[in-house]
Copies of this chain bind each other. A is one copy, B any other.
């Protein structure tokens, strides 16, 4: 099994993290979800969930990296030691998945320069001022560019994770997870019903 590393911080959006965890964790014996934060210990989501985490220094960087978004991303964008630690880990990860404003954190590392990405539609105009070298895609449920998968807001993370499973394990595996979780999968990464709400 490969680690599925979830990068948490205070004020993360609950479903940004746990939607993808459900989808990856539901694929038989492939991924082992583990939660990390900068210092480890209890981290509190924007919806008051208290989640126990390991310190980021304990992470096996051969695992997949998932970065959720949420209001908690804002202060972190200005914390250079934090962004530097995230950068080291994201550089080593074989795949990096972001949900919502998690792509803002990833863009701050500079690793997305010259790459295509998307983000939450309600704050798209703000996000798209960040990471000068990123090509921000407005209409997309999720975007894949090399090893980077970035998704739109909150629930889009589940569609993206199923897309990731599809790319890596095939259609049958992704559809088996959607069936197990009784999830009505929007499997078309270009189908973004929320792009018009900007």
- Please classify how large the interface on chain A is, using the bins under 10, 10 to 19, 20 to 34, 35 or more: 35 or more
Q: Are A50 and B26 in contact (CB under 8 A)?
A: no
Which A19-52 residues have C-beta < 8 A from chain B? 19, 21-22, 25-26, 32-35, 42, 46-52
A41 to B22, CA, bound (A): 22
> Shortest Cβ distance from A188 into chain B, in angstroms?
12
A58 at the interface (CB under 8 A from B): no
Flag the segment in A73-81, A83-91, A152-160, A166-174 that touches B: A152-160
> Shortest Cβ distance from A120 into chain B, in angstroms?
7
Copies of the chain in the assembly: 2
Closest to A151 in B: B182
| Known contacts A25-B46, A33-B48: A122-B18 contact under CB 8 Å | no
Closest to A141 in B: B182
A18 to B194, CA, bound (A): 22
A15 at the interface (CB under 8 A from B): yes
A152 to B186, CA, bound (A): 19
Contact with B along A1-30 (1 / 0, CB 8 A): 000000000000111001101100110000
Q: Are A51 and B48 in contact (CB under 8 A)?
A: no
